């Protein structure tokens, strides 16, 4: 079965630096790979989606890359702010029955 | 404001009782989903519905039931057959042409069964 691996350890970075989160997957490449943000006790919020044939996607301070050879996606937040502190979920998507959520990486931006 | 509402935010039940979690959306989305989230695990799909009066089992449907009589509503019943019902339950929706992508999530219901 498909597995998604996100670093379970929290990532602490200094305000203003670039945060880079990693998502690795096994087996086949997804048609889409998504990233969501989740704050404690709340539902996830959609951030970005990248397709299998795309290498990079940007939205404001966010950037996602997708390397099907390495079976990896990287999620970058540039000029990070304390308000960016949250858990970020990587989601493997290949259709309704093939949506797999990672366990998430907790990001802490230190002022 | 458009969005998804789930009620209640916290729910407590005794073992052996069925309980229904509410999910309503006014986004005019065709597709709706139910997930559960447990500590240290990713969200897992319980049921989904692509259109009114139709729904499909997800990965962990055993012990749960749903209905989709209206486009706006997708209630989830946690039955006494569900062995580990205590969890954080999340409802989501998306446009039909987007499939299970770019989902909008509700605030969640935390269910505790003792």
Contact A108, A10 (CB under 8 A): yes
Mean pLDDT of A42-71: 93
Contact criterion met (CB below 8 Å) for B46 and B35 = yes
- The predicted model gives A30-36 an average pLDDT of 88
Q: What pLDDT sits at residue A97?
A: 65
Which residue in A46, A97, A104 is closest to B103 by CB distance? A46
Cβ distance of B105 and A45 shorter than 8 Å = yes
Confirm if A58 and A91 have CB atoms less than 8 A apart: no
Residues of A in contact with B40 (CB under 8 A): 8, 103
Pairwise CB contact (< 8 Å): B48 & A96: yes
Work out the pLDDT band at B22, boundaries 50, 70, 90. very high
State whether residue A8 is helix, strand or coil: coil
What is the average per-residue pLDDT within A42-65?
Answer: 94
pLDDT tier for residue A27 given thresholds of 50, 70 and 90: confident
Taking an 8 Å cut-off on Cβ atoms, the answer to whether A96 and B50 are in contact is yes
Show the tokens assigned to A44.
Answer: 């996830």
């Amino acid at each position: 079965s498909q597995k998604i691996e996100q670093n379970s350890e929290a990532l602490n970075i200094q305000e203003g630096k670039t945060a880079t989160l990693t998502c690795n997957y096994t087996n086949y490449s997804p048609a889409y790979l998504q990233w969501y943000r989740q704050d404690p006790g709340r539902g996830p919020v959609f951030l970005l989606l990248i397709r299998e044939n795309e290498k990079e996607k940007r939205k404001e301070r966010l950037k996602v890359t997708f390397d099907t050879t390495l079976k990896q996606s990287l999620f970058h937040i540039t000029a990070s702010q304390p308000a960016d502190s949250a858990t970020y979920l990587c989601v493997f998507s290949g259709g309704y029955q093939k949506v797999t959520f990672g366990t998430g990486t907790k990001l802490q931006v230190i002022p | 404001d458009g969005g998804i509402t789930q009620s209640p935010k916290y729910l407590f039940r005794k073992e052996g009782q069925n309980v229904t979690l509410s999910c309503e959306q006014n986004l005019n989305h065709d597709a709706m989903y139910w997930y559960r989230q447990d500590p240290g695990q990713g969200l897992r799909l319980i049921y989904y519905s692509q259109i009114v009066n139709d729904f499909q089992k997800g990965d962990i449907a055993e012990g749960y039931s749903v209905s989709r009589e209206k486009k706006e509503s997708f209630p989830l019943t946690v039955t006494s057959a569900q062995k580990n019902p205590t969890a954080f339950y999340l409802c989501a929706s998306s446009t039909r042409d987007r499939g299970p992508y770019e989902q909008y999530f509700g605030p969640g219901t935390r269910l505790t069964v003792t």
